[in-house]
Amino acid sequence: MRSAAASTAADINNVRVQERTLRTRQKLIAAGLHEFGLNGFEASSTRSIASRAGVAQSALPYHFTTKDELWRAAAEKIFGEFLTRFGTILEMSSDDEPRARAESLITEAVCFFAQHPELHRFMTDETSGPRVEWLVETHIRPLHSVFDSLIADLDAPFDGAAPDRQHLFYMFVGAAAAPYEMAYEYNAVNGASPFDAEAVNRHAQSMIRTFLPPA
């Protein structure tokens, strides 16, 4: 029978192993998010992901049995962050005036795309097959719900001429993400990075003027 001291040492060691495992898993997810967002699923290799994470490729199957499993974990992370962030904002702004609430949410959306351009890349890389079906059911439909919440109280100012919400969603997402998707081109044309704080703010203000009815 083990002594109390031996049991305690074993417990401490188990906790350390679990913490190392969790840190390694988080590194792989972060590396996968970068690689999948940059290159898409097919062009991303587990070798490049493991290398970016600083993890031996031979250890990767211990954490994720397939590349598809890692891709889903990366998608869960980025979409989960978005939905958590906006769910909180929607709840905290529930008593705000509709337009002020919408302006805040549009600004937050632009900032999120600037901070996480891989979100839009996850949405556009997959065009068919089980991954996109899973993505739609698990994450894209909830995004539509967030968007509907954003504009639900803004139909009246359009005087009955509100654009179709389904199309407006894709117009909004595409416009919000465009400068960050085409960052190199933006920089070449404008001589400045779209990720600069002032550029992000100008883009948010342009989105507000474009997608909200006149105040």
The class (CATH top level) of 68-215 is mainly alpha
- Separation CA 195–CA 201 (nearest Å): 10
* Domain limits, the chain: 1-65, 68-215
- Separation CA 188–CA 58 (nearest Å): 41
Q: What is the pLDDT of residues 111-160, one digit of tens each?
A: 999 999 988 888 888 777 888 899 888 888 887 877 776 666 665 444 45
The kind and range of the H/E element at 185 are helix 183-190
| pLDDT at 135 (0 to 100) | 87
Of 116, 115, 125, 117, give the one whose Cα is nearest residue 39: 125
Q: Which amino acid is at 96?
A: D
| pLDDT at 185 (0 to 100) | 94
Positions of E strands within 21-137? none
| pLDDT at 6 (0 to 100) | 54
Fold of the CATH domain 1-65: Arc Repressor Mutant, subunit A (1.10.10)
Q: Which amino acid is at 211?
A: F
- Separation CA 112–CA 176 (nearest Å): 9
Task: Say what the pTM is.
Answer: 0.80
- Separation CA 166–CA 207 (nearest Å): 17
Tokens at 74, concatenated: 């990366």
| pLDDT at 156 (0 to 100) | 45
| pLDDT at 8 (0 to 100) | 66
What is the chain's pLDDT, residue by residue, as a tens digit (215 residues)? 556 555 665 555 565 656 777 888 899 999 999 999 888 888 999 999 999 988 888 888 888 899 999 999 999 999 999 888 887 887 787 777 878 888 888 898 899 999 999 888 888 887 778 888 998 888 888 878 777 766 666 654 444 555 566 778 888 889 999 999 999 999 999 999 999 999 999 999 999 998 887 76
Three-state DSSP at 146 gives helix
CB 139 within 8 A of CB 123: no
Tokens at 188, concatenated: 């070449």
Q: What values do phi and psi take at 161, rounded to 5?
A: -110, 30
| pLDDT at 193 (0 to 100) | 95
